[in-house]
Chains A and B, each alone.
Chain A
Amino acid sequence: MSWIDIGDINDIPLRGARKVKTAQGCIAVFRTGEAEVFATSNTCPHKQGPLNEGIVHDRKVTCPLHNWVFDLETGEAQGADEGRIMTYAARVEDGRVLIEAAKLGRQAA
């Protein structure tokens, strides 16, 4: 798998997220632990809420607009709500955040 370096882990607040612009639309990169990250589509399937602005708890995020909760590992909406967000492989290496290049439709730099 090839990876794209998108920045320093400390640019994402612990239990927070940042947005990354891509040709395919915005991705949200979540930091759930000191060195644990997840990447998903930034757009809530309900009414397009920006997920990078949600509250991050455990390995989940709550959409800021109407509180749908998504599992960051599977992308599935939790509880009674139905929907799914796209997930991307992401990892931390030497303090850098890497996300998978393949699904973004481009080669790693």
Chain B
Amino acid sequence: MSTLIKLNNICKYYYQGEIVTKALDDVNIDVEKGEILIILGSSGSGKTTLLNVISGLDVPTKGQIIFDGKDITHYSDAKMTKFRKQNVGFIFQTYNLLAHLNVYENVKVGAQLGKNKKEDINYIIKMVGLEEHANKYMHQLSGGQQQRVSIARAIAKKPFVMFCDEPTGALDETTGKVVLSSLVKINKELKTTMVIITHNPGIALIGDRIIRMNSGKVVDFSKNENKMAPDEIPWG
């Protein structure tokens, strides 16, 4: 597999007067195309900051981000927005869907960025297992279903990479595994690279590689020798 994203000596510091908080400290990682990369760490380890930097939502204090051979470190806001539109999808712990639109319309909100046709949207809705709920509104869906809608929305524009920040954080085991299955399915069928943040070591087992973070540093970055399907992983 070839490298999609490369981070070189990435640092992210926060300054409060004389106090410097090193959220990321000399991080060097790469993300390969088509893989599921897990970033694992406890609260405050810097994993969310790392996700924000990789995805272009945040700007590093030092270092370099190379995306598909292009240095995107110092992109302007407008350029970065365009970059995200063309390349990146996001899923967050809270679903943040539009309350007054139904499932189909919410997915279309994402699809419009990629100028997808109606058939593509229906396919994606089917892929996340919500074809029977396409006309329902968010208040009519469970948490897991809503999260799957947000996945569909993110994937609808066919991004190269999906960034998922604790996608199962608000869900129980059963629902969470369903969501993870959707992500794995998308990765397999659409070859979309997945970068998933979690504090749950069980979830890390669905990944191809795992990055372990602690206090802003990468303490381990290795291949997952015990890769499992989502329904097999231990929860918690």
**B and A form one assembly:** no
Residues of B that sit less than 8 Å from A by CB = none
Which A residues have a C-beta under 8 Å from some C-beta of B?
Answer: none
